[in-house]
């Protein structure tokens, strides 16, 4: 998902822009109300500047209102996405070739959308591994969701090509362990997974793989995903990094809801 650490600076920047716009509107308003100032823009700007300095809480109030509006919009999108899950489940829970792990007949499916350049995805891997080790009733379905640049798209293509050859997990684990997607790390992951580079490259360039990535992006749009990782556990949507306990709790809730 979009890093939380970025949200405060973004909000602050937005509030500054709003403050500038507010100042401009006040200038225009004063010029309209006081015709004598219409030719003295500098004087009006000084008045507005002084007023904002004397009332800095305006900026705080603007930021709070902006945060409230943003939260309300995000909640509305997530509520709509949650309602869309049941109809999307067949597409969500059908793995692409060997892009799955755990029990193929598990009673709860955890579908995870990941990007190989995503640090939060990498941070979630230990919890996911612990979940599959401790819960024999869980099936994991991996969906390639490259959103962090061209290198991510290339890595996703190769991962799906590895899946078509029955070696998704080997490639997936090797590439995440490398620290991020690049020509060198993708090549190293192919070698570690025992895949032929030329044959895998040919598969990676196929229409079938392009369609799979496009379909995943369409699913993500329906489910209000604006980044990675994102999870569908039973009929629940989770956004952002999750540890073992959070995933185990979501699986337990999904079982209870059956």
Residue 136: give its domain's CATH number.
3.40.30.10
Same structural domain for residues 128 and 244?
Answer: yes
Find, among 98, 93, 120, the residue nearest to 234 by Cα: 93
Residue 70: both structure tokens together? 């943003």
Same structural domain for residues 168 and 245?
Answer: yes
**Whether pLDDT at 176 is above 70:** yes
Assess contact for 165 and 200: CB atoms under 8 A. Answer: yes
Phi, psi of 71 (to 5 degrees): -65, -40
Which is more confidently placed, 233 or 71? 233
Same structural domain for residues 50 and 98?
Answer: no
Q: Sign of the CA dihedral 252, 253, 254, 258?
A: positive
Lowest mean pLDDT of 121-125, 134-138, 222-226, 248-252, name the range. Answer: 222-226
**Exposed e or buried b per residue across 29-44, where buried means at least 16 C-beta atoms within 10 angstroms of its C-beta:** ebbeeeeeeeeeeeeb
- How confident is the model over 18-39, as a mean pLDDT? 49
Find, among 186, 170, 168, the residue nearest to 178 by Cα: 186
Q: How far is CA 148 from CA 58, 152, 194, 239, in A?
A: 36, 6, 27, 16
Find, among 144, 141, 116, 152, the residue nearest to 211 by Cα: 144
The region that residue 182 occupies, defined by phi over 0 for left and psi between -120 and 50 for alpha, beta otherwise, is beta
Same structural domain for residues 131 and 30?
Answer: no
Find, among 248, 112, 225, 93, the residue nearest to 172 by Cα: 112
Phi, psi of 2 (to 5 degrees): -60, 130
* Any domain includes 69: no
Model pTM greater than 0.75?
no
Same structural domain for residues 47 and 172?
Answer: no
**Whether pLDDT at 26 is above 80:** no
Same structural domain for residues 45 and 124?
Answer: no
* Any domain includes 42: yes
* Any domain includes 65: no
Same structural domain for residues 49 and 108?
Answer: no
Same structural domain for residues 49 and 94?
Answer: no
Confidence of residue 61 (pLDDT cuts 50, 70, 90): confident
Same structural domain for residues 22 and 98?
Answer: no
Same structural domain for residues 106 and 180?
Answer: yes
Same structural domain for residues 102 and 227?
Answer: yes
**Whether pLDDT at 211 is above 50:** yes
Same structural domain for residues 138 and 218?
Answer: yes
* Any domain includes 19: yes
* Any domain includes 169: yes
Query: Can you list the alpha helix ranges (DSSP code H) found in 94-231?
Result: 119-134, 150-164, 168-178, 183-192, 197-204, 207-222
Structural domain boundaries, residue 23:
4-55
**CA-based end-to-end distance of the chain:** 28
Radius of gyration for the chain, computed over Cα atoms and rounded to the nearest angstrom: 25
pLDDT (0 to 100) of residue 62: 76
Helix (H, G, I), strand (E, B) or coil at 180: coil
**Whether pLDDT at 184 is above 90:** yes
The whole-angstrom separation of Cα 145 and Cα 100 is 15
* Any domain includes 76: no
* Any domain includes 85: no
- For the chain, give the mean pLDDT: 84
Find, among 134, 65, 131, 140, the residue nearest to 110 by Cα: 140
Element (H, E) at 238: strand 236-239
Q: Count structural domains, the chain.
A: 2
* Any domain includes 64: no
- How confident is the model over 152-162, as a mean pLDDT? 98
């Amino acid at each position: 998902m979009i890093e939380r650490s970025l949200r405060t600076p973004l909000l602050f920047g937005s509030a500054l822009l709003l403050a500038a716009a507010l100042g401009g509107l006040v200038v225009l308003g004063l010029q309209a109300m006081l015709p004598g100032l219409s030719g003295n823009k500098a004087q009006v700007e000084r008045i507005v500047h002084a007023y904002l300095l004397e009332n800095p809480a305006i900026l705080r109030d603007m930021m709070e209102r902006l945060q409230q509006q943003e939260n309300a919009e995000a909640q509305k999108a997530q509520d709509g996405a949650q309602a869309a899950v049941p109809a999307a489940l067949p597409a969500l829970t059908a793995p692409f070739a060997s892009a799955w792990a755990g029990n193929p007949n598990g009673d709860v499916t955890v579908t995870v959308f990941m990007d190989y350049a995503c640090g939060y995805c990498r941070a979630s891997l230990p919890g996911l591994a612990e979940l599959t080790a401790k819960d024999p009733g869980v099936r994991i379905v991996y969906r390639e969701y490259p959103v962090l640049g061209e290198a991510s798209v290339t890595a996703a293509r190769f991962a799906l090509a590895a899946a078509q050859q029955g070696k998704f997990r080997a490639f997936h684990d090797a590439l995440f362990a490398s620290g991020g997607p690049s020509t060198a790390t993708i090549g190293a992951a192919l070698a570690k997974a025992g895949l032929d580079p030329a044959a895998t490259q040919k598969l990676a360039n196929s229409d079938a793989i392009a369609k799979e990535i496009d379909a995943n992006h369409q699913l993500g749009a329906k489910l209000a995903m604006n980044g990675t990782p994102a999870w569908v556990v039973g009929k629940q949507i989770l956004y952002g990094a999750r540890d073992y306990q959070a995933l185990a709790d979501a699986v337990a809730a999904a079982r209870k809801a059956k």
